[in-house]
Amino acid sequence: MGQRESEQLTQILLDALSARALCTVADLGIADHIAPGSPRSVAYLAKATATHEQSLYRTLRLLASHGVFRETGEGSFDHTAMSSALRTDAEGSFHAGAEMFHLLFHAFDKLDHTIRTGESAFTKAFGKGLFEHVMEHPQLAKVFDAGMTSFHGYETAAMLEAYDFSTIGVLADVGGGNGSLISAVLRRWPMMRGILFDLGHVVARARQSAPAQGLADRCQFVEGNFFETVPAGADAYLLRHVLHDWTDAQCVTILQHCRRVIPSHGRLLVVECVVPAGNDRSISKDYDILMMAGPGGLERTEPQFRTLFERSGFQVSSVTPTSTMVSVIEGRPIPIR
């Protein structure tokens, strides 16, 4: 084995340490202790966060080599664009995303179990499925909601630029979480009305934030389980990063419930990564392993989406890429004969 191959393989292994370092620094709230443009000494940061000064310095030095924080002098650090995004008061803050990983990272220690058995690493590590675990821990649920926005919030503007929602009268956001997505769509299209559909404890949190997001007058909140039913009354059904949580059989169940209530002129809109063929690098392949280890789902290729739609009574009518990692996969109901 040559030096290049050895160094590349070593780097892949060591990337796991960088991930843990980022999660730990987020959990400690280091970014909030540094005002942009006002470097702080590690001595100050260690005292403020009750950490070991030399260990903290070495951790921040590592992260700075990845562009997270910037060492400005011996033992002092300032912000970069990435570390600023870890501040809890940053617009579109990524803090919750890193905090969520910190709280759930133990699941990845069981990835070998998933590879050997096909069973969820998360379930092996925590003794129950991801969503059941989140539901049973209200504080984690709040972090989880915000973490999902950290990871996927930036996709919304790109989705609205790429795909034309203007002819939709009522949009149902199935598995809509904290309401940030449907809120953005309704703000963009003032004549549209919305339905936010999710589990009871999720909808309860969304209702609390509804006035601040401008949802109260134009959005109906419906509690339910999409494995059992989906509410009627919309002419388009949107699922963003929902199907990738589930197996094909589970997805068919969800989509068949959509098919039962969608009008003949309706649209199914699935917003997800589309895994490219070949050996090229794609973050969708990273997310695929995350889904495999976490909830037990998967990211899909375009042919896999087409098969999934057809099994559920839909036909893929278009695949619209965005400037982000996601595409809008549009489906039309196949007439029932």
As given in the structure block, the two tokens for residue 75 are 């033992």
- Residue 275 near residue 288, CB atoms below 8 Å: yes
Given a contact cutoff of 8 angstroms between Cβ atoms, the answer to whether 139 and 153 are in contact is no
Q: Is 66 annotated as catalytic?
A: no
C-beta separation of 85 from 70 below 8 A:
no
> What are the backbone dihedrals phi and psi of residue 75, each rounded to the nearest 5 degrees, phi first?
80, 15
From the candidates 79, 133, 244, 257, give the one annotated as an active-site residue.
244
Distance separating alpha carbons of residues 51 and 215, to the nearest angstrom? 42
Query: Alpha helix locations (H) across 50-199?
Result: 53-65, 81-84, 95-104, 111-117, 121-126, 130-135, 138-152, 155-162, 180-188
181 CA to centre of own chain? 12
Compute how many other C-beta atoms are within 10 angstroms of the C-beta atom of residue 11.
10
Task: Specify whether the CB–CB gap between 207 and 221 falls below 8 A.
Answer: yes
Catalytic residues: 244
